[in-house]
A and B are shown apart, each in its own frame.
Chain A
């Protein structure tokens, strides 16, 4: 959710971490808006040749998390919800995430994050809700902004990844998808990063949709309620079909922490559509 330079007193993320491997830069501004840029590389592409929904969700989560932490200061935050609606595929170039605070209340922060490419063409829109938590000594310290602050999240050793999902350790099974808990995916609360949970949700939905539709699909809608911190792992996502169309399917996805008494840590709904369906932008 945040980084390790002068703004923050606690080092996060560590040297080898999914946010650095994602490879993005972000600017947070005093008016509580943020802009992040993600260069599309092979490590972000799925089997369809598009940037994966999970990677975009991680960009949204990271951008929104930093912004929400600024909005909530001096307190800290926990992600309670993330929704993402994709409008068009991204195969090359760069993605820009524009974040803004929609509301900062006593107990919650609501953000909107728009995803755009090619000087303004919208490819997605997201919303995030954060619970405001009384700060603890272990939380990063967010200094007030009186000028724009930029952060770069890059692999420290220039060892760019070939595949982000493989680096996380995501395993796709016949009925579920799972990933181990590791320092590579940890967030500031010691749990699995919200964007990685979104990757599991999207992966579970597309795996099930591929099977139902019989052709490659891509996840275009995510709506996730984060219920508890997944701290132990492996973390498992299972999709249950809610509805199917000729070119799409809708799922409810449960995320459970197998090492944490199989506790349900997130509940989501997701829509996956067939890749290359004619008559639409996608």
Chain B
């Protein structure tokens, strides 16, 4: 399908929920750079009030994806690998984000991304990288004015939805231990497929849920290696986690994400190191 780049609202619901505000801050002659921030509001936090690791990964995906795309013009990109290490559990907010393109090659781009806690004297929150494949989109790339700006959209008058509510997450469905995401339009990107940030939230929640069931107690996703394999178009999208083993720094969980409405095909695979708070 042709991406809905001409409609400024299409595929922007995830960014709107996050309240993300991004600017291009590319220096003269320097690599493409995107910086910005987003609030750590209640709709980004789990039932314990902790900012969900999937949110940090989603923010990284959005900022690094835009930076990679701008650096790849006149082509555009599709995210393939997202690696994010979470460095702190407690987040005051707002969350600062900084994405800098490291390399654009013939077929791929690599962008480094870092997040800090502006409410905690800029303490590092996460660091990671996005690898993206370059492609020639049907109808051309998005026509973003430069320098790029993604302005926040006003949140709903009654406040942001809960994390589970916005991302349509259901635990232990369809099978015990699975986490299900209903693929509503709010969770699609401008290409009409499941947003990479929503995939990241599903992966993190699946890993943490698997660790809770298998090992007991609270866990959060520390280090995430996420491979985007294919687009999820139909839904529901189901995450299945498997605890591979425990170590002094946490436990290692393998996560497979499948599009149940598209023949149950795998759309993402991830390895997540989960840690105790």
Contact = CB atoms under 8 A, between A and B. Distances in A.
Interface stretch (A91-99, A181-189, A247-255): A247-255
B206 interface: no
Contact of B249 (A83, A227, A247, A281): A247
Interface of A: 80-81, 83, 85, 87-88, 102-103, 105-108, 110, 112, 122, 125, 127, 129, 131-133, 220-221, 223, 225, 227-228, 242-243, 245, 247-248, 250, 252, 264, 267, 269, 271, 273-274, 277, 279-282
Nearest to A277: B248
Contacts of A103: 227, 229-230
Contacts, number: 126
A132 B134 CA distance: 12
A110 B127 contact: no
Given A80-B131, A267-B129, A225 B227 contact: no
Contact of B83 (A220, A269, A277, A280): A269
B252 interface: yes
B246 A281 contact: yes
A15 to B, nearest CB: 32
Contacts of B248: 245, 247-248, 273-274, 277, 279-280, 282
Contacts of A107: 107-108, 133-135
A271 B129 contact: no
Contacts of A125: 244, 252, 254, 271
Interface stretch (B98-106, B141-149, B162-170, B178-186): B98-106
User: What bracket does the count of chain B residues touching chain A fall in?
Assistant: 35 or more
B87 A83 contact: no
Interface in B245-273: 245-249, 252, 254, 266, 269, 271, 273
Contacts of A110: 80-81, 227, 229, 269
B249 A242 contact: no
B244 A122 contact: yes
A132 B105 CA distance: 11
B110 A225 contact: yes
A282 B249 CA distance: 10
A271 B273 contact: yes
Which of A105, A221, A280 neighbours the largest number of chain B CB atoms within 10 Å of its CB?
A221
B80 A85 contact: no
A264 B112 CA distance: 13
A250 B85 contact: yes
Contacts of A87: 244-245, 247, 252
B58 interface: no
Nearest to A273: B248
Given A87-B245, A271-B249, A280-B246, A108 B108 contact: yes
B223 interface: yes
Contacts of A264: 102
Contact of B127 (A83, A105, A122, A252): A252
Contacts of B201: none
B129 A273 contact: no
B83 A83 contact: yes
